[in-house]
Amino acid sequence: MDGRGLVSGVAGREAFDEAPGDRGREQCRTMSDPQETRWSAVALICDDPPMSDNTRQRRLAAMRACDRILSGVRPATMRDRLADLDAGGDLDADPDFYGDGPVTTLENRVADLLGTEAAVFFPTGTMAQQVALRYGTDHTGHPTVALHPLGHQEMHERHAYAHVSGLRSAWPTTAPRNPTADEITALGEPVHTVVIELPLRDAGFVLPTWDELTAVSAAAHAIGARVHFDGARIWESAPYLGHSLSEIAGLADSTYVSFYKTLGGISGAALAGTTELASFARVWRHRYGGNVFQQWPAALTALAGLDRELPRIPDYVRHARTVAKTLTALPGVRVHPEPPPTHRFRLWLPHPSQALNDAALALAEEEQVWFAGGWQDTDVPGIAMTEITVAGPALQLTAADIIEVGERFLSRVAGR
């Protein structure tokens, strides 16, 4: 355990615009590592109080009833989820038995999409990536993996790679972006794997350009390391990179994808790569406790998500640029990155998070308009930040609608 990282405990808050504090916050820890100290100035503040069950239920109910939703998607009920299951496959067919049937269908679909020899279903991305890192260390004999301090492994997994797999991390950079080729070349110590998170979520969903990505992949291979893509959001990275999913995954030795974020599945992940990696992954998935008896609900909703959401993502990404640009016209708004490379970006307002969360709920309950929730205070007093997700509901909003929704929200914040 290297003990690094401001741990703020945010696992998967995509579906309905959820705040980082919502899912059982992990303990905040500030470490003595010098890299950590440099980084902490820009890391998220992680002591915002968890949302009460009552507030969460009020918010879900209010969002469901909204006519207009700027950020996020309308929260699904369990009955909505059942409809997804129906859309994902033949419910009269046999369920899976330890990963056959619909789970195999999903694995094959992912391998086709990513152009890999194989893909292996995992109950979580956290587990899938630990197995990918273990493969790297087993095949090179080095215990060190190159991670970003803002990457999911450092920020949101309680350092499982260290505790469970006995690995160490090296940080090629602390800049709020993925590492460059030069930074990989300059690492100066052997690493078994270089992990690139596409996009780097906790830096604001930032992406490298295609040329930067090809260069960093080549630099990793040149120092004898494998390349692993944390592709939890690879689906929405493809439009900006300007290449197909298989061309992107072709730069890596392994790629993890998620089914429950942008695709809207129940849960689950896949690890894609060679058949040799897949065999290893199946063995270690079992050892890590991920050989689940039946996973057909997750598999079917993932298949439904691939059918329904994947084709819509380029529109979300395109519209996110309009939403981000339009929002900057509102008083006090700051947006990053601008233009956003994916359909998600960060937005700051000069108000405390509590005032912004209260205003969002009141606007939704009283006017059936949802601006954005999940506000968190930053380390600049009086400035709060949230992540905006431009998905299906926002496609209905023109620039004029966006301004109107934003003005209504700001009026609420001002108490008018």
Closest CA to 330 of 415, 399, 416: 399
Q: How far apart are CA 135 and CA 301, in angstroms?
A: 29
CB of 199 to ligand PLP, least distance (A): 9
Nearer to ligand PLP by Cβ, of 286 and 396: the residue is: 286
Half-sphere exposure in the Cβ direction for 234 (13 Å, CA): 32
Give the helix/strand (H/E) hosting 257: strand 254-258
The DSSP-derived string for 35-69 is HHHHHHTTSPP--PPPPPHHHHHHHHHHHHT-SEE
CB of 206 to ligand PLP, least distance (A): 12
Nearer to ligand PLP by Cβ, of 96 and 157: the residue is: 157
CB of 197 to ligand PLP, least distance (A): 5
> Under 8 Å CB-to-CB from 287, ≥6 apart: which residues?
none
Dihedral, CA of residue 71, residue 75, residue 80 and residue 82, to nearest 10: 110
The DSSP-derived string for 278-341 is HHHHHHHHHHTT---S--HHHHHHHHHHHHHTGGGHHHHHHHHHHHHHHHTTSTT-EEESSS-S
Nearer to ligand PLP by Cβ, of 343 and 351: the residue is: 343
Residues at the contact surface with ligand PLP, assessed by CB under 6 A: 11-12, 124-126, 152, 197, 201, 230, 232, 258, 269
Helical pair 275-287 and 125-140, crossing angle rounded to 10 deg: 120
Nearer to ligand PLP by Cβ, of 18 and 253: the residue is: 18
Nearer to ligand PLP by Cβ, of 4 and 68: the residue is: 4
Nearer to ligand PLP by Cβ, of 128 and 397: the residue is: 128
Helical pair 399-413 and 353-367, crossing angle rounded to 10 deg: 120
Are 320 and 387 spatial neighbours (Cβ–Cβ below 8 Å)?
A: no
Q: How many secondary structure helices (H) and strands (E) does the chain include?
A: 17, 13
Q: How far apart are CA 108 and CA 238, in angstroms?
A: 20
Nearer to ligand PLP by Cβ, of 59 and 201: the residue is: 201
CB of 133 to ligand PLP, least distance (A): 12
Are 43 and 362 spatial neighbours (Cβ–Cβ below 8 Å)?
A: no
**Which residue number has the CB closest to ligand PLP?**
125
CB of 188 to ligand PLP, least distance (A): 27
Q: How far apart are CA 287 and CA 298, in angstroms?
A: 21
Nearer to ligand PLP by Cβ, of 124 and 137: the residue is: 124
CB of 289 to ligand PLP, least distance (A): 13
CB of 185 to ligand PLP, least distance (A): 25
Nearer to ligand PLP by Cβ, of 201 and 226: the residue is: 201
CB of 363 to ligand PLP, least distance (A): 27
CB of 151 to ligand PLP, least distance (A): 7
